[in-house]
Amino acid sequence: MTSHSFVNGHIVTPRGVLSDAMVDVEGGIIVAIVDRAGPGAIDLDGGWLMPGFIDTQVNGGGGVLFNDALSVEGIAAIGDAHRPFGTTAFLPTLISDTHEAIAQALDATDAAIAAGVPGVLGAHIEGPVINIARKGIHDPRHFGALDDALMALLLKPRRGQVMVTLAPELAPADRIAALARAGVLVSLGHSDATYAEATAGFAAGVTGVTHLFNAMSPLVHRAPGVVGAALDDSYVYCGLIVDGFHVDDAVLRIALRARPADRMMLVSDAMPCVNAATKSFVLQGREIHVEGGRCVGADGTLAGSDLDMAAAVRNTVDRLGVPAERAAAMAATNPAAFLGLSRERGTIATGRRADWVQLDAGLHAVTTVIAGEIAAHAPPPSVAA
C-alpha cells in the first residue's frame, strides 16, 4: 500500500473539500482517505486536488486527428497530449465518416483498451446520422441513415463504451431504443429537431446532449427546439464547451441555473491543435486554423476547439462563477455517471480508481496521476492553454 499526503490546499471528495488528507492506494485503487496528512506531504500551496477529468468528446490532440489515425498508436498519441492537462480518461471521437472508418475506429479503440493505453474508455461516434441543417463542420458527403449496416456496427459487442451522437428526427425511435437496450450511449446532437421530436428521442433512450446549444435548433419562445427540450429535461446529461467562443457566458450561466447540477458535463471537443506546436490542421480535406484561440474553417465555421479540460474547469470557475468543486464534478463525477462508471471513477473516494489531478491555485494542471502513479506533469508554457 502507498500513502499520498497533501496539505495546505483543497482536496475535492464526496464528503466535502478537505484542506489536508492522506490517500492510501493499493493496486491502483483508493482504499482509505484520512482527514489529516502523513509524513512527506505535498504542499498544495493553496491549490487543488481533483478527481481525474473524464472527457467524452476528444477529436484529437498533439497534432493527431482521430479520423486520420484510426489505430492504437493514434489513440495513444491523443491520450498523451491531453494527460498533462488532467484528463485521465477519454473517448476518442470520430467526426462523421464512412462506415469503414467507423468500423476501424471501434476496432482501434478495442485494440487500445486491450493494449492498456491509459484512459481509453471506448469511442464516441459523432454522426453520420445528423441533420444537414445543423452540420457544423461535418462533411455532408458522409451523412446517412441509421440503417441495418450502421446498426450492426454500433451493436457489435465491444471492450469499452460506445457513444453515438445522432439527430433523433432522422432516427426511428425503435432503433434508438435498440441501441440503448444494448448499452450504447445515445446522445442528441447536430439536430434540427422540434421540442416534440427531441423529447420523443429522450423517451426512446437518448441520455445525452452533445455540446448543448451548438449545432442544434435553438430555444425560441414559441418553438423551444432541442435547446428548450434539454433545459426542460432533468435526466439527460448535457455536454458544455466552455471556451468563450462556442456559447456566450451568460447563456451558460442560465443553463447551469436551469438544470440539475449533476447532469452537466464539461467536454473539450478538442482538435489536433491541443498540446501541439502547430496550430493548424486538415479536417477531411479542409484547412482549419486557430485564430485567437478559435478553431475555424475557411468560411469562419467553428471546427471543434483548442481547449483542454483543465482550461475548461478554469473557465467554468473564472468566467461563469461556478465553485471549483462543482466544476470538478462537471469534469469528472458527472461524465463518470453518464458513462455508467461511477463505481469505478469520477471521485476521490474509497473503492474508486486512484486517478486525480493536482492543480495550482490558478487551476492550472501540475501533475496527473493514474492508478496511483504519476502519469504526466504540466505541459510546457508554449502549448499550455
Catalytic residues: 269
CA 157 to the chain's CA centroid: 22
Cell numbers representing residue 22 in the block: 492522506
Beta bridge partners of 238: 209, 264
Q: Which residue has the cell 482550461?
A: 311
CA 323 to the chain's CA centroid: 20
CA 189 to the chain's CA centroid: 14
Q: Which residue has the cell 463542420?
A: 137
Cell numbers representing residue 17 in the block: 473539500
Residue among 301, 298, 300, 293 at smallest CA distance from 270 = 293
Question: E strands of 180-325, at which residues?
Answer: 185-188, 206-209, 237-240, 264-266, 280-283, 286-291, 294-296, 302-305
Residue among 83, 177, 111 at smallest CA distance from 366 = 83
Q: Please give the Cα distance from 191 to 203 (Å, whole number).
A: 16
Q: Which residue has the cell 480518461?
A: 89
